[in-house]
Amino acid sequence: MEILPNNIESAHRVGMAAIRHAFPISRQFFSGCLKFVKIAFFLSFTIYYFIMSQIIVSPSQTQFSSQENETILSAAIRHGINLPHSCQSGVCGSCVATLVSGSVVQSGEYDDYVLNQDEIAAGKILLCCSQADGDVTVDMPSYAGAKAIAIRTLPARVANVDIRGDVAVLTVALPKSPPFQFYAGQYMEILLKDGSRSYSIANAPSQKATLEFHVRLREGGLFSPQLFSGSLKSGAIMRLRGPLGSFYLNDESADKPLILLATGTGFAPIKSILMQLADTQPERVVHVYHGTRVAAGLYDETALRQLLAALPNAKYTPVLSRPDADWSGATGYITEYVLRDYADLSGHEVYACGSPDMIHSSRQMLVAQTRLPENAFFSDVFTAHV
């Protein structure tokens, strides 16, 4: 006999009748099995819920959950919440917050210059190095809450790969809708089969159709060898997540002169910031220092000089630490030249991107020797990954 149920309820009745016909088991047995399934589902959901920690970030009252063995910052990013951060490795201090209630377990090491003992005693923690031990509330006034740009995962198509020595300038095309938004200085994660790699965006926020990344070759690396070998060809589809990070211009001090420091491919976010200035504040006073080992490390100098032409109050000082004999420019380290050029930075802001050593030494020396306020030093630390 063919039965054609006209709704889900009748289909369920037909299915149960068919099972009972095939397996002559009592109605009580089926009812007991159903109750068991419901109880098991409820218990599994309850266990899952209670092993999750609930995180509250004030004053924005942002809420999300974190899993066992997950840092608070990683949990926020997983939920698409872009809390202030940069290096994710305990070096930059951008993700510092105050523990209001609950307790955390330190899951990573960081130096005293990031958090000293007095700050730790006052309840300061780094969200990239802290796992919640139960429900936690932290205070993070620097987080914009609902005003922050939401993190998205989106496809992108490889448009061009330009090899310049040991740096590849990668350009990817974005979907036309919805338009992608970011702040100059932020970065993206390139999502790969076996992990991810993070690269700063090197173009202006006003350029909606593409993103540019500067990728240094890491032998045996997870991503960079694909660019240099030619295996990642034009037209290939990639997955990106972002924008991430809190390394961008401070809107509250739009009139202050800027010192922009970069080492190596740390120039990428600095380039993005310069492009934003050219679009929005071309008269702003800015001095760019780019430090590399050899002249070939100034891999994007043509584009930089074009930008400088659009910024009449901009200066540029390239510095080589291991120059060839024919180099006639500055030699040594960029922080030394900032100290030579500026005795008083009390009215400036400094944005530094590059190696941990450069970030650490620049912060210490500029604050100690030029009266730079500690809260006027902004940094994005590049840590090497293969």
Total of domains in the chain? 4
The reply to whether 324 and 351 lie within a common domain is yes
pLDDT of residue 92: 77
Q: What is the span of the domain harbouring residue 168?
A: 148-244
48 belongs to a structural domain = no
The reply to whether 234 and 284 lie within a common domain is no
45 belongs to a structural domain = no
pLDDT of residue 384: 62
- pLDDT tens, residue order, the chain (386 aa): 344 444 545 555 655 555 555 555 555 655 666 666 556 555 554 444 556 899 999 888 899 999 988 999 999 999 988 888 877 778 777 888 999 999 999 876 776 667 888 888 899 999 999 999 999 999 988 787 767 788 899 999 999 999 999 999 999 999 998 999 999 999 999 999 888 899 999 999 999 999 999 999 999 999 999 999 999 999 999 999 999 988 899 877 888 999 999 999 999 999 999 999 999 999 999 999 999 999 999 999 999 999 999 999 999 999 999 999 999 999 999 999 999 999 999 999 999 999 888 999 999 999 999 999 999 999 988 776 55
The reply to whether 70 and 141 lie within a common domain is yes
The reply to whether 155 and 141 lie within a common domain is no
40 belongs to a structural domain = no
The reply to whether 328 and 295 lie within a common domain is yes
Distance CA 357, CA 381 (A): 9
Domain boundary among 89, 119, 146: 146
pLDDT of residue 1: 38
The reply to whether 24 and 69 lie within a common domain is no
210 belongs to a structural domain = yes
313 belongs to a structural domain = yes
Q: Which two tokens stand for residue 9?
A: 């309820």
The reply to whether 377 and 258 lie within a common domain is yes
Whether the ω angle into residue 59 lies within 30 degrees of 0, i.e. cis, is yes
Q: What is the enclosing helix (H) or strand (E) of 38?
A: helix 27-51
Single-letter amino acid code for the residue at 297: G
The reply to whether 120 and 177 lie within a common domain is no
pLDDT of residue 3: 40
227 belongs to a structural domain = yes
331, 323 contact by CB (below 8 A): yes
Residues of the chain by 3-state class (helix, strand, coil), percent to 5: 30, 30, 40
pLDDT of residue 8: 47
Domain boundary among 128, 146, 164: 146
Q: Which residues of 35-61 are buried (b: 16+ CB within 10 A; e: fewer)?
A: eeeeeeeeeeeeeeeeebbebbbbebe
pLDDT of residue 107: 77
pLDDT of residue 286: 98
281: Cβ–Cβ under 8 A, 6 or more apart, which residues?
254
Count CB atoms within 10 A of the CB of residue 109.
9
Q: Which two tokens stand for residue 250?
A: 């401070």
Say which CATH number the domain at 98 has.
3.10.20.30
The reply to whether 124 and 165 lie within a common domain is no
